[in-house]
Structures are given as C-alpha cells and as structure tokens.
Structure 1
Amino acid sequence: MTEGFVSLVGAGPWDPELLTLAARDRLARADVVIVDYLVNPAVLLHCPPHTEVLQRVRGPHVGPGAPKLAQAQVNELMVARAKAGLYVVRLKGGDPMMFGRGAEEAQYLARHQVKFEFVPGVSSPIAAPQTAGIPITHRDHTPSVSFVSGYEAYEKAGLTVAWNHLANSAGTLVLMMSVKNARTNAQRLVDAGRDPSTPAAVVRWGTRGIQQTVVGTLGDLADRVAAAGIRPPAVMIVGDVVTLRERIQWFEQRPLFGRRVVVTRAARQAGGLVNLLAAEGADAVVFPCLDFAPAAADQQAALDQALRSFAPGGAGPDFAGVIVSSPNGVEALFEALARAQLDVRIFAGKLVAAIGTGTAERLIERGLRPDIVPDRARAEGLIQALRDRQVLGRAWLQIRADEGRELLGQAIAKAGGQLTLVVGYQTVRPAVPGLLLASLQPVDEGGEGYDAICFASGRTARHFLETTGEVLGDERARAHLARAKVIAIGPVTADAITALGIRVDAVATEQTEAGLRDAVLKLFATPSP
C-alpha cells in the first residue's frame, strides 16, 4: 500500500489568484481535501474529479448537505485517510500557522506517526489592509506591527493578551477575528492608555470585489462597524497608517467594485473571463456549468475515417474543407489526426473554416491557419462567408460537440452541398461544490448573493438552473436568478436563454470574453448626472 501523507496548506485570504503555485500543485494531486469555510470554493476546481471534498465549516456558510465537521473529526479523518494510503490536503484560509490550528493538527499527525508538511499561504492581516490602501508598516509612521487575536478563545485558555503593552507600543496593531469584540477590544486599548482619537479601520472580506472598509477612531469605530452592518470575517487595524488610505486606496476605485459576477464557463476555460472581470474590480465567482468529455468510441472512429478521406487516395466524399466549431473541436481534430497517424498536410489545397476568433487562434497555435473566419461567430456568419466564397454548395466536414444547431447543414444542403457532421467531444454538467452553491444564496439567506451572471451558451444556462434547482428547488433557483442581471455572449445564446424563461439584460457586442466583460461594464456603468 502507498504510504499516506498530509499537506497542511494555506489557501490565501480568498482571491483565487493569491493561491500559491505550491498550493495549486497539492490540490491537483489530492485524493482528499478537508477545507475550511474561509476558503474560496473556486480553488477546489484545481482538484481532480476523484477528489473527496470534506468541509470543516460552521454557521451560515455551510453548503447544502455539507457535513459540519468538528475539529476532533478533522483530526481523525486526516489520520484515517492518510493511513489508508491516501494523499490528504488540509486546506485552510490564509496561512495555516497564523491564528489557525495548523500547528495543533501537525502535533496530532505526529503523535499518530503520519508524515506531513506545511505549505504557507498569503495571510489576511497582511493582504486585507493592503487592498484597503492601508500599509501595515511605513517608515514615516511606524517601526513595527503586531498581530493580535481579537477573539476570546485565547483568554479562555489562559493566554491573556497584553493590552497594556500593545496600547503603549509605537507600532501598528492588526486584530484578527475582531468584529464581534470590536467594541470591547477598542475599549481595552483605550483603558490601557491608547488615545481614543487613534485612527482605526475594519476591513471585511479583504481582497474580494465585495470588500468593505470602515474607517474611524478607536473611540467611535465600533459604532461605525455596527451602523455598516459589518459581519465576519474581518480584520481591525489600529494606528496612524490608517490615514494613508485617503491617498493610496486603489482596490475600491475600480468600476465593477462591489459587484459579484458569476462565470458559468467550464472550469478550465473560465480563467480568462474571471481575470478580466477581476481586473475591473468585480468579485468574480467561478461556477462551472459545463465540462467536456471525450467522444464515444464510435464517434471517434467516424471522425478518424472522415479525416482519412482528406489524405491522398482516401475513400469518401471530396470535401472542400473542414469546419471547426470551437476550441475544443480543435483539440478533438488534432487528437484524431494523431490516432489516424496523419497531420495537417492532408488539408493542403482544402479550406479550413473556424467559427469564432477563439477557435481560429487555437488552430493557429497548433500550426493550422484557417482560411475562413466569419465576422459573426455563429452559423449564420459562416453560411454567409461560405456563400461569399461561392463554396456553400460543396461537401464539408464539420467537427463539433454532441449538441448543436442544424442551421449550417440545412443551408449547405439547400445550396446543393453536403455536410458530414462528426462529434469531436461531448459536453456534460459538472458537479459543483456545495460551499459554492451556498455562497450564491442571498445575504438574507446566509450567502453573499450575486449581481450578474454571464452565459456563453444556452446549455450553460440550462445546466445552471438544473444544478441550483436540485439543491434549492426550481422556484427558489429561478427567484434568485431573477434578482441578478443576465448577460449573454451573443444573440443566439440570448434566444436560448429566453426560451428557458430567463430574462436577458445585456448581450455582448463581440462574442468574446472581452465582449462579455464590456457588456458587464456597460450594464453597471454609473449614469451621467
């Protein structure tokens, strides 16, 4: 039996881009992941399909059907899974050694002769003040910084915080887990000698597009936090460095700041749009509603045989060329060429058509430059392009997914041609972590809600309703969706979404990821006074 192992991994403060390369590597190899509730569920998309995900969660963040694991259960599960020869990732928010139980868990593993390692992560008391425009150190303001627990658990264990020392230090104070005790902790510092006029701030959900920052003084901060309705998780910063926020805040100035935007593309394809939205300040949520699987054996055989028709002496239709419908179709094409022991030379003297710039770019990356790329990335655009080239009525091979529109084949047949349609890959509905489902519920139901959702196909919209409906019920799922703005990548997708009974609020002008981003920006643009 393979010897088991446990990695105690820091996932960072929330932003999935702050996940370290080391952490991503561990997740990609995990058999089991035991995850805390302050970890962005999007990082779990790095896990392979077989990974068992267990949630160490509490309170309103518990996903539907998710087990509430006590710390003792977490310890026992790590040991049991590791001793069964599995690779376990214990995934913790921030850094596992910064006010977490990483060291305690390591001690438990050591007592049970289980090998382990620590993988550091970006910690929220450093990241949250930065994204709020508050430097925790500055040569003109403070020579030191102290990280302090603002939670009474340490005092219950007999580890009293040295408030007198902290109150009289010259450095910045960063108090963790301090929303509930903000008033008490501020008063302790004032009672110990800290000036009540000392600048102070609380930052909730640091590094997220829904980050909240409240600024005041030690004397009035608790009242401001209560008035703003700040909930955990948050950090409290005390010191003159807070005043620098007025001049160097940057994170909250971006146009989509405060907006949660759901991206429903396949996990492996969502990164581009997520990064574009995040760069504009949005809290981009990866909710994959599509995944891809290889075509069935008979479908692969049909594609291989069709490609052999292009080779010299090949039997079959005299194809004018090949039509590739998507970037995934490009990969299917080249996998088939390899299986059939062929290469791109079989397309010499033939036409290669790509539906969409993304498909064209993927073909070029693989060494095959398309001859035809329609202005409109849909069947209507390709039909017109083929008509303009006077080749619509010829024999064509099309590689696409297992589902699609029949418009192209009908137009080619009407023009006197023939379309041989082969399935290059299948689309499926992926499983979505329960924690991610829970986070999309409205604030009044314990989640964070969402302001907008982007769909790149009618199928992703259908899968979104199916996935959320299975957990929430169809009526509630549709009610939640009705609260948000719906953006479609193009008119065909918009029509498919409308057919599902979903209102469409915006349609991208360009059928690209940048086009979706621009549509979201325009939708939430502040009206001119």
Structure 2
Amino acid sequence: MSDPTPTVAVFRPDDERRSEAASLLESLGVEPVPDPMLAVESTGEVPRTDADYAIFTSKTAADLLAETDWDPGESTVVAIGPATADALEAVGYEVDVVPEEYTSSGLVAHLGESADVDLDGARVEVARSDHGSQVLLDGLEAAGAYLHETILYRLVRPDGSGESAELAAEGGLDAACFTSSLTVEHFLEAAEERGIREEALSGLEGTLVGVIGEPTAETAGERGVPVDFVSSEATFEALATETVARLFGDDVE
C-alpha cells in the first residue's frame, strides 16, 4: 500500500491567491489544506498625491487602487516585490523601484543604498494594511524621510477558519506554510475558538513549519509555534516549493 499524500496547510486569502496556492501545491505532489486566515476590509482611503515616493507593500493594495482615481503624478512608485509590481502595472501604474530583497528591511536598505534615491527630506507615502511592519516606517524615518501612512485596508480573520488547526490537533497535518505574523496569530485564535489551542500547538511539533521572513519566525517562536525554516525568498512560491522539497527529502539550495 502506498504512503498517503502529504498534507500542507496554507493560509492565503479566499480569492485567487487561495486557488493559485492550492494549484501550486497539487502540482508539487502534495494535498493542499487551504484555510484562509486573512480577509480584506477596505477603508476607502486613497494615497496622497503630493509625495516624492509612493510605497506599496502588497498585491491587495494594487487591487484596491484599481477601484479609485488615484494618480501618482510625479511620485516615484515603489513596490516591495515583483508580485506587487506586477499587480500595480496590471492596473495601469508604472513601477519605478523594486528591491532585491522583498521585505520591509530589504526595501529600506535598497532605497538607502540607491544612488538614484535621496530620502533625506523627501515626502514618502506608505499605503498598506493596518498590520504593516514598523520596520519600514522606522527605517524611512531614520533615513530622514517625512512620512505619511495611508491605511488602505484592514486584515481580519474570516469566520469559520481553523480546519488546519483541527487537522494539526489530530496529528493529520504534515506541513504548514505561514506567510505573515498575522497568519500565525489568526491560526492560534482559530484554534482557541475551537478549544484546541494546546492540542494544535502540540500537533505542530511533529509538523514541518515554514515561514516567510524573520518577523514571522519571531512571532511564531514567541507564541510557541516551532519553525523549521524561513524561505529563501519572501514569496509564497519559494515557501511552498521549499516546504515540499523538505517533505520529500530533497536538497534545497
């Protein structure tokens, strides 16, 4: 009798990202357990138009901009990574800057080291969710920028989330892919809501846990979630591919 197909929990929002994540994992030979831990609530706010630099940190921000008449004017448009850049360009915005490292700290470092960027005294607009990293704001302020933050959307936990916590508590989960600190927090909230927090945490001890970014790893560690590795790139594709490679005992470069 053949071994059962490994199960991998993913926490992408319940939109095309959920189906894309599931399709990717299936193509890699595992059984996805889609359990959305994030839902988007738009605030209706629009970024300022008088900034020298306009920074966007997610594909969701681009999707929301498409529903507005925001015009970047003379602003230099900055995307935290290629997925965000592609989404911005898909809705008609030209992206000028994408860092090599797709994280808040990587973005700050890239802007600070670029000969074409001078943040000292520059007006910088940061448009993102209500759970954006403080690292980005602190780094920009330290570089001398005048900051304005626009909260485009709030991230909340969807009703009914927690299937993966149930599976972890039962010992039926082989791996979990956490893409942000908030997915860790919401996973544990869902487990608590179902009365199985300790059982779910115990189940994760025997589960391969991969995360995107050191901040997510730190959040997980602080809350008792064991982390086996941080993906080499801050993308879901890298996280998923490296998770499956480890499950099957393959080398990960």
TM-score (norm 1): 0.44
Which of 504, 508, 511 in structure 1 is aligned with 2:234? 511
Which of 134, 137, 157 in structure 2 is aligned with 1:429? 157
Q: What corresponds to 1:294 in structure 2?
A: 42
1:457 deviation in Å? 0.2
Contact 1:261 1:451 in 2 (8 A): yes
Q: What corresponds to 1:524 in structure 2?
A: 247
Does the residue aligned with 1:487 lie in a helix, a strand or coil?
Answer: strand
Paired with 2:163 and 2:233, the residues of 1 have a C-alpha distance of 33
Q: Where do 1:77-476 residues align within 5 Å?
A: 258-268=5-15, 269-295=17-43, 300=44, 303-304=45-46, 306-307=47-48, 310=49, 318-337=50-69, 342=70, 346-387=71-112, 388=114, 389-393=116-120, 394-432=122-160, 438-442=166-170, 449-476=172-199
Paired with 2:95 and 2:80, the residues of 1 have a C-alpha distance of 10
Does the residue aligned with 2:68 lie in a helix, a strand or coil?
Answer: helix
Contact 1:451 1:485 in 2 (8 A): yes
Question: How many corresponding residue pairs?
Answer: 247
Paired with 1:402 and 1:527, the residues of 2 have a C-alpha distance of 38
Contact 2:165 2:187 in 1 (8 A): no
1:273 deviation in Å? 1.8
Q: What corresponds to 2:204 in structure 1?
A: 481
Give CA-to-partner distance per residue, 1:219-269, whole Å, 9 cap, x none.
Answer: xxxxxxxxxxxxxxxxxxxxxxxxxxxxxxxxx8xxxx7211001121212
Structure 2 unmatched runs, 5+: none
Contact 1:398 1:420 in 2 (8 A): yes
Q: What corresponds to 1:44 in structure 2?
A: none
Contact 2:104 2:135 in 1 (8 A): yes
Give CA-to-partner distance per residue, 1:3-49, whole Å, 9 cap, x none.
Answer: xxxxxxxxxxxxxxxxxxxxxxxxxxxxxxxxxxxxxxxxxxxxxxx
Distance change in 2, residues 1:352/1:434 (3 Å): closer
Contact 2:220 2:227 in 1 (8 A): yes
State the one-letter code of the partner of 2:87.
R
Contact 1:277 1:284 in 2 (8 A): yes
Does the residue aligned with 1:423 lie in a helix, a strand or coil?
Answer: strand
Give CA-to-partner distance per residue, 1:313-343, whole Å, 9 cap, x none.
Answer: xxxxx41021111011112223332xxxx5x
Identity %: 28
The structure number with the bigger radius of gyration is 1
TM-score (norm 2): 0.88
1:476 deviation in Å? 1.6
Contact 2:184 2:216 in 1 (8 A): no
Which moved further from structure 2: 378-387 or 351-360? 378-387
Contact 2:204 2:226 in 1 (8 A): no
Paired with 1:350 and 1:470, the residues of 2 have a C-alpha distance of 45
1:438 deviation in Å? 4.6
Contact 1:321 1:347 in 2 (8 A): no
1:424 deviation in Å? 0.3
Contact 1:507 1:519 in 2 (8 A): no
Contact 1:397 1:421 in 2 (8 A): yes
Q: What corresponds to 1:492 in structure 2?
A: 215
1:437 deviation in Å? 5.8
Contact 2:30 2:244 in 1 (8 A): no
Paired with 2:244 and 2:102, the residues of 1 have a C-alpha distance of 22
Contact 2:177 2:240 in 1 (8 A): no
1:441 deviation in Å? 4.1
1:520 deviation in Å? 0.9
Distance change in 2, residues 1:422/1:511 (3 Å): same
Alignment RMSD (CA, Å): 2.3
Paired with 1:470 and 1:347, the residues of 2 have a C-alpha distance of 43
Paired with 2:197 and 2:80, the residues of 1 have a C-alpha distance of 34
Contact 2:130 2:154 in 1 (8 A): yes
1:523 deviation in Å? 1.5
Paired with 1:453 and 1:402, the residues of 2 have a C-alpha distance of 25
State the one-letter code of the partner of 1:475.
E
Distance change in 2, residues 1:320/1:467 (3 Å): same
